[in-house]
Structures are given as structure tokens and as C-alpha cells.
Structure 1
Amino acid sequence: MDWAVLEADLGTALPSDFRSLAEAYPVLVIDDFLMVSVPLPGAEASWASGCREDEILQDLYEMGDTEGYVPFPRPGGLIGWAESYSGDSFYWRTSPGDPDAWPVVVRTDNGDWLEFPVGAVEFLAGVYRRSLYVPGMPRDFPGDNAKVLGLSDNID
């Protein structure tokens, strides 16, 4: 992964926990429900472009349906990093300036906006362990025998 190219195209650094996650798991799907969007080597510019041009978030913003959140690259704007198969969207709020301090913002499929003062990996771990509850998401997620599909070049 060429993080320098990706972050130059995006216009900001990304949280270090997400960079480590993306390096370890280029594909990550939790319990056939939540998919983490990780950049692929050679497609860094495309991933960055998708983050800057989030049409759904832009439309919601223009309709006044973001509860004060703004799309990136506006200051403090949202950058998407995951989505659920039922329409939940997961973002970072790019404020404060240190990417490792960016909170996770969730827009649930029913239009609620929730903010969690943790990074992406801590958020995913909390959801998986069921120590972090996201109102509006299915109560049975993840299931008792949740499967995590993570393809990694590091797996032999």
C-alpha cells in the first residue's frame, strides 16, 4: 500500500489503527453484515477519490439531513470507511486535527446520526464483543457464532 500517494490524493493522513487494519486485511466483512472499505494497492487514488466524492453523503448534506455533519474535504468533514448491508454508514469526523483522535460517526439505516469517541478498530472490536451498542443496528449483530471474513496476504 502506498499510503503517501493515498494520503496526498485524499489531502489528509488517515488513522494509524485503520492503516494497520488495511495492511493486515485487504478484505474485512463481519458476520456477513458489516464491510470495511479498505484501499487496495495500486488503487489508492481511486479510494481517495471515492472518499472525496461521497455522493450519498453530499446529497444528505444538501438536503439538510446530516445533523450538522459535513462531507470531507470541508473542515471536520466525514470520511467513510465502512458500511453495512442494511444501509448503515460508518465515518470518521476529521476533527480534531490528529487522525488518531478522530471519532467514529454512524448514520444508521433509519437516518439516526451517532458519534462514538473511539477509532475504527476499537469501534469494530467493541461491536464484535458487544461491549459497544449502536442503536438502530440489529440487536442480533453480531451473531453468537459470528464469522469474520478477512483475507490477508499474511495468512499461510
Structure 2
Amino acid sequence: MTSIEALEAALPAMTRWRVPGGRDVDWAVLEAALGTALPSDFRALAEAYPVLVVDDFLVVSAPAPGAEASWGAACREDEILQDLYEMGDTEDYVPYPRPGGLISWAESNAGDAFYWRTGPTDPDAWPVVVRTDNAEWFEFPVGAVAFLAGVYGRTIDVPGMPGNFPGDDPRVLGLSD
């Protein structure tokens, strides 16, 4: 089972938003603007789905076809993370494009942020890092899609999240490009 299939099994409400034939994201443009390749599980998710909002709480980002350069540039210029770093509130994490820097791929409406910790290795080996709204940091040794499948399949627990996360029957909204 692929990580996308595992996520769809854990979060079946998302499947109604799958884009038949894919979304045709120009990964070369995005990765040139960002300065790095992205994990293959995320590329597969972004090709199959638009931005997803789960339970009006978690927003899973996806680049829009035609806006890849601006999506990549926005990831490089994460002002909130940069401010936290300058204030010394990121533990040992640093913003991208510094070596090992964080790139955001999701956020909650409560102020939680979900990142990849980049590295010199293959992007498919990048772990997920979560910064809770309580300024706690947690790292998980899985990719973004496997992380989401684990959270919604209830095999991954994220400390510091609201008590109702994840919901018992999560609703999913897909935001069109």
C-alpha cells in the first residue's frame, strides 16, 4: 500500500477531492524557486489533491498549477519561523534555506505548524517536525503523508494537540486552485 493509499484509508472523506488525471504541478519551476526537490510522497499528494482542510482545523498545503514559483518563494520566506528563530524560540531548528532548515507543509487554525527538516540526504528521508501552539517541538521519523496517515489512522500521537485532534469522523474540504 502506498502512503497515499494509507492516508486515503485513514481519511476516506478526502477521496472525493481527488483530481482525476492529476493537477499538473510544474515541479521544475517550484523546485527552482524553492532551491530543493521535495519528498516524493508530498509530490504525489499534491498531484492528486488540492489544498485540503481537515475538520476546519488542519490545512495541508499544495502548490497550485501556475503558481509554483510563488509557492516555492513563500516556503523560503517563512516570516513566522524566521521571527521565532531570531527570538531563540526554535530549540535547535533553523529556517530553510539554512542547512537542515525547516520547510512548512501544513498548519492548523490554532497556530500549530508542520514542517520537513531538510538535510543533505534524499528528501524522501526528511522527517516531520511539529511546532505546537504551546511552543513545543516534536520530530517524527516519517514523511508528511505517512505522518498524516498515522495521525488519522491513530498510530501516531502528536503531544500538545487539542483533545479532539484527530476527530472521530474527520470532514475534509478541498480548496480549488
1:9-88 aligned within 5 A: 9-88=33-112
- TM-score normalised to the size of structure 2? 0.83
The answer for unaligned runs of 5 or more in structure 2 is: 1-24
> Could you say what the CA RMSD is over the residues aligned between the two structures, in angstroms?
1.4
- Per-residue deviation at 1:139? 2.2
Contact 1:25-1:151 within 8 A present in 2 as well: no
Question: Secondary structure of the equivalent of 2:145?
Answer: helix
The answer for unaligned runs of 5 or more in structure 1 is: none
Cα separation, 2, equivalents of 1:127 and 1:3: 27
One-letter amino acid matched to 1:6: L
Question: Secondary structure of the equivalent of 2:90?
Answer: coil
- Per-residue deviation at 1:150? 3.4
One-letter amino acid matched to 1:94: T
Cα separation, 2, equivalents of 1:125 and 1:139: 18
Percent of aligned positions with the same letter in both sequences?
Answer: 80
Cα separation, 1, equivalents of 2:135 and 2:175: 31
One-letter amino acid matched to 1:50: A
1:124 and 2:124 correspond: no
Cα separation, 1, equivalents of 2:40 and 2:96: 19
- TM-score normalised to the size of structure 1? 0.94
Question: Secondary structure of the equivalent of 1:70?
Answer: coil
Cα distance per residue 1:50-105 (max 9 Å; x no partner): 11100000000011110010000001100000000111000000024210000000
For 1:134, the equivalent position in structure 2 comes to 158
Contact 1:96-1:102 within 8 A present in 2 as well: no
Question: Secondary structure of the equivalent of 1:115?
Answer: strand
Cα separation, 1, equivalents of 2:27 and 2:125: 19
Contact 1:88-1:106 within 8 A present in 2 as well: yes
Contact 1:52-1:72 within 8 A present in 2 as well: yes
Cα separation, 2, equivalents of 1:147 and 1:46: 29
Q: Which segment drifts farther, 94-103 or 13-22?
A: 94-103
For 2:168, the equivalent position in structure 1 comes to 144
One-letter amino acid matched to 1:149: L
Cα separation, 1, equivalents of 2:156 and 2:163: 11
One-letter amino acid matched to 1:114: F
Cα separation, 2, equivalents of 1:9 and 1:27: 20
